[in-house]
Amino acid sequence: MKPAPVAYARPTSLTEALELLAGTPDAKVLAGGQSLVPLLNMRLAAPTLLVDINRLPGLDHVMAAPDGVHVGALARHSAVLADAAARRTQPLLADALSHVAHATIRNRGTTVGSIVHADAAAEMPAVLAVLDGHVEVASVRGRRRIEARDLVVGPLQSSLEHDEVALEACFPALDARAGTAFTEISRRQGDYALCGVAAVVMLDEDGAVASARCGYLAVHETPAVVDLPALVGARGPLGDDVVTAASDLALGVLDVEGDIHGTAAYRRHLVRVLTARALRTAYDDAATRTTTRTTAPTPTTGGTA
């Protein structure tokens, strides 16, 4: 199918883009087009105006800062994935990005576009949510910050107003005592997941779990985050009783439904298997990082000139 007739604008300044969006209530922002263009082609979306943001300056950054990784609206998935400083600052981001689609789609699709597209089966909204990240948005009324927990309000529905452009997403940095893991099951590599789990485990000074949480994709109508107090105080290797208590807790929160790709029972089974896998890996990751830090030789200063 072909899209319905649509006007196209390619502004070169943010002000111009925001004015165009404010002046046309059913206008749509076009970023990488990897989700929007299929929707146009299938006529599941029929805006009267596309505002292509690809020529806006200063939005393609991937910046690793002490507070986290700042990803501009025009940074492609592939650029974020390839950024070594971003990987060091928050390894969960790159771990999850390697599961997003295929290389060709990652070369064009944007990480911010994926977040505001708000697909419950997508990796980035769940990762931003489990990390308590946020998005900066702009409109003709000014700028505001939307916390990840307030961002996705329904299936494919974000809390952005129709005339707002997301400028940047911020993924908080990995805490010194934390470890992370990402795992998912999809029918073929690069497909959307049948179930995916992102885990963050924090250890206390004695190496026991201080806090644990998992973010879930493709098993709830929105990306879901579940805090797991059942793990607090546990030590590795995490036993079956501990990870089973954690997945019981998650299944009590998630509203797992079946579809043509997998029954609800199968998806619940995946929640159990992947929750255990992700938590054990995140625990080991935290333990390894903490050990490496405490046993690393202290850098010496001075030396020969």
Ligand X SMILES: Cc1cc2nc3c(=O)[nH]c(=O)nc-3n(C[C@H](O)[C@H](O)[C@H](O)COP(=O)(O)OP(=O)(O)OC[C@H]3O[C@@H](n4cnc5c(N)ncnc54)[C@H](O)[C@@H]3O)c2cc1C
Binding site for ligand X (CB under 6 A): 28-36, 38, 53, 73, 100-101, 105, 109-110, 112-114, 116-117, 122-124, 160, 165-166, 192
DSSP string, 67-102: TEEEEETT-BHHHHHH-HHHHHH-HHHHHHHTTSS-
Q: Which is nearer to ligand X, 165 or 242 (CB)?
A: 165
Q: How many CB atoms lie within 10 A of CB 223?
A: 30
Q: Looking at the chain, how many residues does it have?
A: 305
CB of 26 to ligand X, least distance (A): 11
Q: Which is nearer to ligand X, 109 or 133 (CB)?
A: 109
CB of 106 to ligand X, least distance (A): 7
Residues 6+ positions from 119 with CB-CB distance below 8 Å: 35, 125, 155, 156, 192
Q: Which is nearer to ligand X, 91 or 196 (CB)?
A: 196
CB of 147 to ligand X, least distance (A): 17
Q: Which is nearer to ligand X, 190 or 236 (CB)?
A: 190
CB of 240 to ligand X, least distance (A): 30
Side chain identity, residue 102: H
Q: Which is nearer to ligand X, 73 or 131 (CB)?
A: 73
Q: Which is nearer to ligand X, 76 or 280 (CB)?
A: 76
Q: Which is nearer to ligand X, 130 or 210 (CB)?
A: 130
CB of 76 to ligand X, least distance (A): 8
Q: Of 98, 130, 124, 154, which Cα lies nearest the Cα of 35?
A: 124
How is the beta sheet containing 178-185 ordered, strand by strand?
178-185, 195-203, 209-217, 224-227
Lookup: tokens for 163: 């005339």
Lookup: tokens for 161: 């107003």
DSSP H helices in the chain: 14-23, 36-41, 77-82, 84-89, 91-97, 103-108, 111-117, 123-130, 240-253, 264-295
Query: Phi/psi at 116 (nearest 5 deg)?
Result: -75, -15
CB of 256 to ligand X, least distance (A): 19
CB of 209 to ligand X, least distance (A): 29
CB of 285 to ligand X, least distance (A): 23
* Closest residue to ligand X: CB criterion: 109
Cis peptide before 237 (omega within 30 of 0): yes
Q: Which is nearer to ligand X, 16 or 284 (CB)?
A: 16
